[in-house]
Amino acid sequence: MYIEKINSPKDLKQLPIEQLSVVADEIRTGVLNRVSHHGGHVGPNLGFTEATVALHYVFNAPEDKFVFDISHQSYPHKMLTGRAKGFLDVNDMDAISGYSSPLENPEYDNFEIGHTSTSVALATGLMKGRDILGGTENVIAVIGDGSLSGGEAFEGLDTAAELGTNIIVIVNDNEMSIAENHGGLYKNLQLLRDTKGQAELNFFKALGFDYTYVEEGNDVAKLVEAFQKVKDIDHPIVVHIHTEKGHGYTPATTNKEAWHWHMPFELETGQVKGGHGGEDYGDLLGQLLLDEMKRDPKLVAIAAAVPAAMGFTPERRKAAGKQYIDVGIAEEEAVAMASAMAKRGAHPVFSTPATFLQRTYDQLSQDLAVNGNPAVINVLGSSVYGMNDFTHICFFDIPMFSHIPNLVYLAPTTYEEFVAMELWAIRQEKYSVAVRVPAMQVVHSAEAYDTDYSNLNKFKVAKRGERVAIIAAGDFYQKGEAVQQALANDGIDATLINPRYLTGIDEDLLEDLKKDHTLIATLEDGSLDGGFGERIARFYGPSDMKVLNFGVKKALYDRYDVNELLRDNNLLDEQIVASIKATL
Amino acid sequence: MYIEKINSPKDLKQLPIEQLSVVADEIRTGVLNRVSHHGGHVGPNLGFTEATVALHYVFNAPEDKFVFDISHQSYPHKMLTGRAKGFLDVNDMDAISGYSSPLENPEYDNFEIGHTSTSVALATGLMKGRDILGGTENVIAVIGDGSLSGGEAFEGLDTAAELGTNIIVIVNDNEMSIAENHGGLYKNLQLLRDTKGQAELNFFKALGFDYTYVEEGNDVAKLVEAFQKVKDIDHPIVVHIHTEKGHGYTPATTNKEAWHWHMPFELETGQVKGGHGGEDYGDLLGQLLLDEMKRDPKLVAIAAAVPAAMGFTPERRKAAGKQYIDVGIAEEEAVAMASAMAKRGAHPVFSTPATFLQRTYDQLSQDLAVNGNPAVINVLGSSVYGMNDFTHICFFDIPMFSHIPNLVYLAPTTYEEFVAMELWAIRQEKYSVAVRVPAMQVVHSAEAYDTDYSNLNKFKVAKRGERVAIIAAGDFYQKGEAVQQALANDGIDATLINPRYLTGIDEDLLEDLKKDHTLIATLEDGSLDGGFGERIARFYGPSDMKVLNFGVKKALYDRYDVNELLRDNNLLDEQIVASIKATL
């Protein structure tokens, strides 16, 4: 195989152009080998294989700079830059991340990237840096059609065009986002494809870009030709290439949404290996919303390009009809829209993973909470048990949400409490409410939960004991139960509290605990800095009450083993028990 | 005057169309009366006066819904919806805010708005809400050309076009942002103006909008005609109107940037009344950056449409040349660009008010801090002494920044310490650094400040005492000195500490304080929830040390009197002293 001998793009350049499609096929095989064993992004990488070979054949990395949007299409790039073993050899797969990473390869990867719509914006910095330092290299930003719907991509394009110097934006148009595309822009991309790039009405030209179109986006020779024409160009240009998502693997071209990202699978059949089985909160949320829609014609479920995360399969989207809307990768829009929809009297529910909600801090504050409109935001995956890639950590949501005035952030502890809180949030018309949808295994309970949460910040005492009180929020409530039980086994009759609210504290209860408690332990499934526990520590600061906050220390985390993470953060049940006993 | 008898748009509709320009002139006089006495946005309101009269003449508010971007052009709207007295009578001016506000007028103002680029996104929610509820009203979003550079505006337009139902987007094109426009888009607006809207290449059409152009954007009759044509339209349309910023007031049309927002002034001459005098940090920052640029050709100062906030007057922008860049109202782009510019070896410094940095939480986390690129972010105005409008509060920056891993946030206490920290931040190449530029009166000090801040989280002990330690951050350090002095007068020899870092704590020092201190008081010029002090409270939680956190309680604040705010939050020097003594 060629690919085994390609240690850098220089080796690729030695090959005759006719052999490049062979290399592309080898890369495709390597990508499939990796994802079938390891899971990962399938469609984006398969569709961008030929383009990557052509890019590295034409341009001179690392002098020329590539920036990959989301970088979920960067596997072929990794294989051509000394990391093929991470695809070919199952034993080497863990060494390679699913994203662009200078930590992994400082020579060829320019940025740690995992969020969407950033590539052009980052590329403008490389442009301006080059220009101010007198460099001459090409700056190449790769962006998928789906990512163009994000505001940061627009801001980047707008600035790049004004800078006016060399930048080559490769628009990888596979006619898909994660699910289908949404936004007026996509009709223009359709027009450009239909006219082979000849239409006068052209979004990119309207922003000031030069423009060229390549219909055969999975044809290496055609791509090489196109890239050679734009290499060393002295102004901004978009190279719009039409690719096929999942190219070369029938299951992935047949069901593009399901194969955007995939669990490990049998290569022959595409069948998932093992399968996770059991209930999951995404699916349960989808069903809950769909059921409530039937009852409430004002309910509108909003997705921002990841409907699957909220259980909205294509079938459910169809069933929801007009009561479902996907705004594309446009979280800012989603929050603003939700706020205004609530203002108009509808019942909007926007659901997306916590890491992507980071895009909406200002909208949560300004468009939503300052206005106090009764929209619902479901925060998904927010747990140490959630996604664990460097750029996809989902446990900074409590620090981000909880200090925003006029927002109510609820943390259910079980499925039944989640349902109670979610339905209250949807049906009430008084507060802007976020719900931290649990992200661990689904836990059921026969406990009677409140159906009304409008009496804000009223904590629930599950068990009243003495000396020690454990305040265990959301996902970590079961950990609180376990710790309470362990202490009971050691003769310590601890109080156990479900705080329910992350945006305020129950001062009356906390005051009352002073009577017969000397230590409070807070447990939260997330960041300690700026988290829920610190608010409790502040409350008791002037008193004799001791406080232990359990949560995750501030640090960068990447592909951690969750049990190691828990241990390193003193979060194993026995560690918590030991800390409590040592402090008593 | 007509305007005195117009209590609602219904009264306006009774007038013959020929009299509308008289009403517009009266409104202009009212706007000038208000801003000359009270300060406020001048150019945006004067330029949009005729359009507002025409909008209210043609459409039927409150059934038809207006959404004003930033809403700094909503004064004429206020005058036509029962609030003219707040413009005509100097005694009534304080009752009226400078922005759209349902709290002020729930009937005609749909949203509390103060940030840019939100109007179309909010309007999409009104559209979808109307459509799901079976309404038939018009939704009218007003947006200035400058605001189009923000990503949220793009996301809103993209979604609105796909929704496909009635929305009328009024693009108020006065050929200006706050300063001059920046971005490739603006060449397209120029082309559209030059061709009277006839050019095939049309940004709005590329997004799927219908489109019409009105050259005479300050001619009420022409505007009425144009609006009548689009009223009750069944699909999205942009009405691109060409207006003159500051129309009808010569000082404001002569120097548009200076008259975007203006302090109280003499109506005849345009001269500022009184004037604030003395040094200010914006000006000092601008001079510092310009001086450093001369020494360091790699330094690039980045603005996001508010160069004046960082002291970059037109003269300084010219002097900086290529070492200055304004990305438009595109804070996400600015942070991503800064990160990548640093990656490429330049020395980027992005400066903007804290309230607008709220747009960049994800970019600070992902594009910048995860990558650890040595860019500098100057956080401006972050103080209770900063802007005090509902939507412009600048004191949530510590909660927003301080829990982001891998970011260094510095809080200088005096001008000289600011210079030391800023120059270190620019010249070092190791950390992503944010600097909380002081926002109170400029304080000078002859103290010797460190020139190297790479030994992270090392607090500085200004005075070592016993029993009580005051840790006073940034702007509130002088308050710490005053409290320390007051305690000394009462025989309490307190320790005084300048923490310098907001992103970490000096555990060795805090541990050491346990030896001879029983109480720690933290002072910060910002939000208590998620703030700096809570981290100290958490540290001491398991110990016998008592902790008092002084800062601002979580709440919505609007046009407060700063002394009342301080009193309400127990932040007056004597209150702090009393609390400390009571807790000892």
pLDDT in tens, A302-335: 999 999 999 999 999 999 999 999 999 999 999 9
Q: Which pLDDT score, from 0 to 100, does residue B274 have?
A: 76
pLDDT value for B275: 65
Pairing relation of β-strands A299-303 and A65-68?
A: unpaired
3-state secondary structure B334-372: HHHHHHHHHHCCCEEEEEEEHHHHHHHHHHHHHHHHCCC
Closest CA of chain A from B519, distance in Å: 8
Chain center to CA of A503? 23
With contacts defined as CB-CB under 8 Å, which chain A residues touch B404?
396
8 A C-beta contact, residue B393 and residue B355: yes
pLDDT 10s digits, A133-181 = 999 999 999 999 999 999 999 999 999 999 999 999 999 999 999 999 9
Q: Edge-to-edge, what's the strand order for the sheet holding A407-410? A: A324-326, A299-303, A347-353, A376-380, A432-436, A407-410
CB nearest B340 (choices: A125, A133, A201): A125
What pLDDT was estimated at residue A275? 65
**How many Å apart are CA A305 and CA A324, to the nearest integer?**
12
* Token couple for B559: 């046009």
Average pLDDT of the residues of chain A = 97
Range 44-103 of B in CB contact (< 8 A) with A: 65, 67, 102
Q: Looking at residue A456, what is its pLDDT?
A: 98
**A300: contact with B, CB 8 A cutoff:** yes
Nearest to B398 by CA among A320, A74, A534: A534
Calpha distance A480→A469 (Å, rounded): 10
DSSP conformational letter for A360:
G
Tell me what percent of the residues of chain A surpass a pLDDT of 70. Answer: 100
Cβ A405 vs Cβ B556: under 8 Å? yes
B464: its two tokens: 């070592």
Tell me the nearest-neighbour CA distance from A370 into chain B, angstroms.
Answer: 7
> For position A277, what pLDDT does the model report?
73
Which residues 143-202 in chain A show a CB within 8 A of chain B?
A: 149-162, 182-188, 200-202
**Eight-state DSSP code of residue A501:** B
Q: Which of A111, A108, A85, A107 is nearest to A96 (CA)?
A: A85
- B157 to chain A, closest Cα gap in Å: 8
For the entire predicted model, the pTM comes to: 0.98
The pLDDT assigned to B106 comes to 97
Q: So what's the pLDDT on residue A278?
A: 87
Task: Extract the residue ranges of chain B whose pLDDT is less than 70.
Answer: 275-276
Q: Does B493 touch chain A (CB under 8 A)?
A: no
Q: Which two tokens stand for residue B7?
A: 């209590």
Contact A54, A224 (CB under 8 A): yes
For residue B273, the distance in angstroms to the closest alpha carbon of chain A comes to 32
Q: What is the DSSP string of B392-434?
A: -----HHHHHHTSTTEEEE--SSHHHHHHHHHHHHH-SS-EEE
Distant-in-sequence contacts of A249-256, Cβ < 8 A, 24+ apart: A249/A28, A249/A32, A249/A42, A249/A46, A252/A42, A252/A43, A252/A46, A256/A43, A256/A174, A256/A176
Beta strands in A152-223 (DSSP E): 167-173, 210-214
Max Cα distance, chain A (Å): 82
ipTM for this prediction: 0.98
Q: Which of B129, B405, B531 sits opposite A341 (nearest CB)?
A: B129
Phi, psi of A501 (to 5 degrees): -105, 135
A288-308, pLDDT tens digit by residue? 999 999 999 999 999 999 999
Mean pLDDT of the A554-573 span: 97
Please judge whether B207 and A184 are an interchain contact, meaning their C-beta atoms are less than 8 angstroms apart: yes
Tell me the β-bridge partners of A432: A407
The residue-averaged pLDDT of A19-38 equals 97
Q: Under 8 Å CB-to-CB from A16, ≥6 apart: which residues?
A: none
Residue of B101, B131, B138, B159 to mutate when probing chain A, most A C-beta within 10 A: B159
The 10 Å CB-count burial string (b at 16+, else e) for A70-79 is: bbbbbbbbbb
Q: Indicate which of B67, B155, B200 best probes the interface with A, i.e. most A CBs within 10 Å of its own CB.
A: B155
Instruction: Supply the pLDDT for residue B277.
Output: 73
Residue A119 to residue B77: CA distance in whole angstroms: 40
| Sequence-distant (≥ 6) Cβ neighbours of residue A181 within 8 angstroms | A145, A146, A149, A175, A189, A328
**Closest CB from B185, B528, B548 relative to A542:** B548
A452-482 pLDDT, tens per residue? 999 999 999 999 999 999 999 999 999 999 9
Count the Cβ atoms, other than its own, within 10 Å of residue B248. 18
- Give all strands of the β-sheet with B236-242 in edge-to-edge order: B65-68, B139-144, B167-173, B236-242, B210-214
Give the contacts of A440 (CB within 8 A, at least 6 positions apart): A383, A385, A475, A478, A525
Two structure tokens written together for B188: 């397209």
> Testing the interface with A: which of B108, B143, B358, B362 to mutate, by most A Cβ within 10 A?
B362
pLDDT reading at A276 higher than 90:
no
CB-CB under 8 Å, A405 with B330: no
Give the residue from B131, B200, B211 showing the smallest Cα distance to B171.
B211
